[in-house]
Amino acid sequence: MDSTINYIKSDLYRYCRKSSINIFLKQYFLNPGFRFMVWHRIAHSAKIKGKLFYIIPWLKLRNLKFKFGYDIPSETSIGKGFYIGHFGGIVITSKAIIGNNCNISQGVTIGYSSRGKKKGYPKIGNNVYIGPGAVILGNISIGNNVAIGANAVVIDNIECNAVAVGNPAKVVNLNGSEGYILNQI
């Protein structure tokens, strides 16, 4: 449970750079992304540890999926400091791996590819910004400090410190995500 609390604190820090019970309660009740991640962290921890009471956080997480439009299964591996920037429309496959300090905007899909050389699930590095409407598909790796532009469709690996835009996404420069990832842990 201690590591779950640390993950929740790291998420809270990303939203407001502070950590106290008052700030927690304020963010929990006013910020749907933070509330969703609190229950995701609890359900993920219970699932991993095989706790019998997993059903309670799973049911709460399922309720919040419908309420807020975030389809992020409890099995999804998400690093510390996860930040959901806007309400709704986020879909992430259960076997995706997401690093620390990741920002996800509305309308993002991180999904499985069922055919071809890239069959599998994405792995996303640390300090990654994913813009609105972006789609990341297949067994690809997104490096650290990457910025993915709005409505980009990423179907190939992206190197560290890159900025990728377009359909299919192409690297346009190596300025990375600096300035997009605030309150890093």
CATH label of the domain that carries residue 12: 2.160.10.10
Q: Quick check: is 181 in a domain? A: no
Percent of the chain with pLDDT over 70: 97
Q: Quick check: is 47 in a domain? A: yes
Q: Quick check: is 180 in a domain? A: no
User: What average pLDDT does range 135-142 have in this prediction?
Assistant: 96
User: What average pLDDT does range 66-94 have in this prediction?
Assistant: 93
How many structural domains does the chain have?
1
Q: Quick check: is 53 in a domain? A: yes
User: What average pLDDT does range 133-141 have in this prediction?
Assistant: 96
Q: Quick check: is 121 in a domain? A: yes
Q: Tell me the residue range of the domain where 124 lies.
A: 2-173
**Mean predicted lDDT score pLDDT of the chain:** 93
Q: What is the pLDDT of residues 150-169, one digit of tens each?
A: 999 999 999 999 999 999 99
Q: Give the whole-angstrom CA distance, residue 57 versus residue 130.
A: 27
Q: Quick check: is 70 in a domain? A: yes
pLDDT for the residue 2 = 62
Q: Quick check: is 63 in a domain? A: yes
Q: Give the whole-angstrom CA distance, residue 129 versus residue 118.
A: 22
In SS3 terms, the chain reads as: CHHHHHHHHHHHHHHHCCCCHHHHHHHHHHCHHHHHHHHHHHHHHHHHHCCHHHHHHHHHHHHHHHHHCEECCCCCEECCCCEECCCCCEEECCCCEECCCCEECCCCEEECECCCCCCECCEECCCCEECCCCEEECCCEECCCCEECCCCEECCCECCCCEEECCCCEEEECCCCCCCCCCCC
Is the pLDDT confidence value at 127 over 90? yes
Q: Residue 88: which pLDDT band, with cuts at 50, 70 and 90?
A: confident
Percent of the chain with pLDDT over 90: 80
What's the pTM?
0.91
Read off φ and ψ for residue 64, nearest 5 degrees.
Answer: -70, -30
Q: Quick check: is 59 in a domain? A: yes
